[in-house]
Amino acid sequence: MMPGLSLDIYDQGERNALADAMEVMVRAFDPAYGEAWTLSQLSGVMLMPGTWLTVARLDAAPLGFALVRSVLDECELLLLAVDPSWRGKGIGETLLRDSMLTARRRGITSMNLEVRATNNAIRLYEKNGFEYVHRRPGYYRGKNGQLHDALSFRLDMLI
C-alpha cells in the first residue's frame, strides 16, 4: 500500500464519506460513457443492507473509492474509481484487494462486477483473478446517446 494512504470503510451513508466519493466520481468518470452516479443514487444504495463504501485518502484528501453491495454469500463491486491524477500508483488495486478481503471477512464467497468493455481497469480485474462471464451489449448510454457494451466478471473466493 502507498505510504500514508488510509482506507476508511463506511457501512452507512456518512455524509463526509459520500461527499468524498462524489468528489472523486466527478473527476474519475468521463461523462462520455454515462457511468458516473449521482449523489442521490449513491446515498440510496448506501441505505441498503450489506453495502459498504471504502474511501482511500492521503492526508485527508480523497483519492479513490470502492462501493460494494452484498446479498447472502455473494457481492457486487458496484463502483471502483481513482482520481485520474493518482492512477497508476496502486490505489485502485489497494481498494480492490481491500474490498475482496472485507468480503471474505463477511463470509462472502463470490464477487461480481460489470465494466465497460473498453475500460483499462479490465487488466486490474483479470490480474486479481476475475474471470469473464458475458457481454451486455449497449449497457452504458453515453452523454451523446452512444451505447457501450459492458463485460461481466466473477471471482470465486475461497474462505
Q: Which of 10, 76, 125, 139 is catalytic?
A: 125
H and E: helices and strands count for the chain? 4, 7
- Does an H or E element contain 64, and which? strand 61-71
Q: Do 52 and 102 meet the contact criterion of CB atoms below 8 Å apart? A: yes
Catalytic (active site) residue 76? no
How many angstroms separate the CA atoms of 74 and 64, rounded? Answer: 23
Catalytic (active site) residue 125? yes
How many angstroms separate the CA atoms of 31 and 98, rounded? Answer: 27
How many angstroms separate the CA atoms of 26 and 30, rounded? Answer: 8
Lookup result for grid cell 460513457: 33
Q: Which of 114, 126, 139, 140 is catalytic?
A: 114
Q: Do 133 and 113 meet the contact criterion of CB atoms below 8 Å apart? A: no
* Residues carrying an active site annotation: 114, 125
